Amino acid sequence: MEENTSPLVVPVDPRRGSRRGAALDELRVTGGFWEHLQRSNSRSTLRHCLEWMERLGWIANFDRVADGETDRPRPGWPFSDSEVYKLAEALVWEHGRTGRAWPNETLEALVDRIAAAQDDDGYLNTCYGHAGQAERYSDLSSGHELYCTGHLLQAAAARVRTVGEDKLVEVARRAADHVCREFGADGRAGVCGHAEIELGLAEFGRALGEERYTEQARLFVERRGHGTLKPIALLDASYFQDDVPVREATVWSGHAVRALYLAAGAVDVAVDTDDAELLGAVARQWERTVESRTYLTGGMGSRHQDEGFGEDWELPPDRAYCETCAGIASVMVSWRLYLATGEARYADLIERTFYNVIAASPGADGRSFFYANPLHQRTTAADVRPGEVNPRAEGGVRAPWFDVSCCPTNLARTLASWQAYAASVDGDTVSLLQYAPGELRVALADGGDLVLRVTTEYPREGAVRVEVVEAPTRPVDLRFRVPHWADGATFTDGSGTSAVEPGWAHVRGGLEPGAALTLDLPVTPRLTWPDPRIDAVRGCVAVERGPLVLCAESVDLPEDWSLAEIRLDTAVAPRADGDGALVRMASVRTPPGDSGRPPYRSAPTPRLDDGSSIRDVQLIPYHRWAQRGPSAMRVFLPTA
């Protein structure tokens, strides 16, 4: 497999293979859906995360270690260091994307405090290993020491790719060297209860060209699944993927974020070591999990007890956990698989997850967030108070901060680097994967630039128009991703308009400046029926529009209607309405049960419907639910 040696401003840069993602400085987004979210992230979310971690003392934990004051109570969970590192990574990408001074200045001040807490041998953690604290690596199941280090290494890899080697990179190098000494082939044969160190070592090794780090990542992947971690009460070894070796697993199970981070790290190792067996194993796990354990939104994780995957077809909408971090981790796995294979289905899932999980989490102000993303909220929630830590991950209201606040910082680093997932380059073939207005200028492997100007209002409208601004004189290929839902898509070039199937619309060679190309994707609202094996939504249907999952929200219903009693008339086709849809619904009331008796009857329950309660009801994009205030909501609608 071809060796890739060129440095790129991207989160994922495989050492082997010719396919790469577009660098952050190659795509300038000039408006639309994702520019709005990036602007909110830049103006509000980054500062919000910094302010909360200062307020709660999570950053000051590094100062306490540096000052030798660790014998007093430490604020935050043992893994709070990781949130500081994710913020650092977000600041790196934001500076690399925009060139603005504030992210870089803030990062440098943060790194000074982090560096001061590092031990002489490279160990870096504010919860273990110092006076008044538990010993290093004394709780691999729950201590998260290696997990935190993994996030440090990811931030440092981003720094290498945007600025070069500096103080952050030196801190990370010493920490990585410590991990290799401590857990290498001749060291402890342990793994971390929360996968992440695998990802960090692999990307940091790629950034520095250091194969020792890749080898250590490989060791961690191979050690997983042999029951070496101490079980946690009420949970088994599958919680941290220590029940089945990665190569033997057929589906993802246990804690969703841990499973997905491990899978992403396994893909990195497989690609960089040319291990087709390992890569094939993860691809098969992706396929079965997507087929039977993934929500319509792209969300993953149906159980609250372990924040984890349920069994096949166990996808209850009202108990969907679908943690925001799991959505981000899903994108991380799918992106790596796309780079390894070039298959459009991975970019399809990325799009679905971006629009319906990741975009759903932040509030319009960029200072409040969903942690869990259910597909059915039965009651109007009001248990989040502004300015306070929210102890619950769920609740139906975006919260300013959480007791376990992994999602805001994860969102910050993902939104700051969104461009990296929008296009790919493979030799002289450029593929457009995610659509946004802007200008793409990619440096081709054989020399020369391809410059494209994209005009679109996607996903509100389905037309994606591309003008070729600059192109080499030699043949260059251009591909447009046609999503799997886009039956009836058309493509227009100089020779006319033709139908295109889901997969790729391919322009082969001969791109000339001034050429105009248009992909038209059908974004007419459509009905989506669940697999009948998903018991929880049998007899229901969802409505989608383009990549957007739509939902009914209580604030859009007549005052005397309840979400529990609505029925969708599938004989009347949904109609476009803004970026949502209008659907014909009926309100079918049910007689009350006998007082004090269970809600079950010996005969079918009659419906009280005189035919007068039939209305057109607006459905909105799921990612916007609860933006107008607390509400009840449902994605899957019972049919009339």
Question: Which pLDDT score is estimated for 66?
Answer: 98
SS3 percent helix, strand, coil of the chain, rounded to 5, is: 35, 20, 45
CATH number of 31-421: 1.50.10.20
Question: Which pLDDT score is estimated for 493?
Answer: 94
Question: Which pLDDT score is estimated for 2?
Answer: 47
DSSP character at residue 118: -
* Pairing mode of beta strands 477-482, 429-432: parallel
Question: Which pLDDT score is estimated for 384?
Answer: 76
Question: Which pLDDT score is estimated for 613?
Answer: 82
Mean pLDDT for the stretch of residues 369-379: 95
The model's pTM is 0.97
Mean pLDDT for the stretch of residues 201-223: 98
Question: Which pLDDT score is estimated for 609?
Answer: 58
Q: In whole angstroms, what is the distance from residue 8 CA to residue 5 CA? A: 9
Mean pLDDT for the stretch of residues 275-283: 98
Is the per-residue pLDDT at 246 higher than 90? yes
Nearby residues of 216 by Cβ (< 8 Å), 6 or more positions away: 176, 179, 180, 183, 184, 201
Least confident of 97-106, 493-502, 583-592: 583-592
Question: Which pLDDT score is estimated for 599?
Answer: 85
Domain ranges of the chain: 31-421, 423-520, 527-638
Mean pLDDT for the stretch of residues 410-424: 98
Is the per-residue pLDDT at 405 higher than 70? yes
Mean pLDDT for the stretch of residues 19-37: 96
- CB count, 10 Å around CB of 576? 14
Is the per-residue pLDDT at 639 higher than 90? yes
Residue 119 exposed, middle or buried by CB count within 10 Å (0-12, 13-18, 19+): middle
Is the per-residue pLDDT at 496 higher than 50? yes
Q: For residue range 287-314, list pLDDT tens digits in order.
A: 999 999 999 999 999 999 999 999 999 9
Q: Is 423-520 CATH 2.60.40?
A: yes
Question: Which pLDDT score is estimated for 612?
Answer: 57
Same fold, 31-421 and 423-520: no
- Quick check: 396 and 410 in contact, CB under 8 A? no
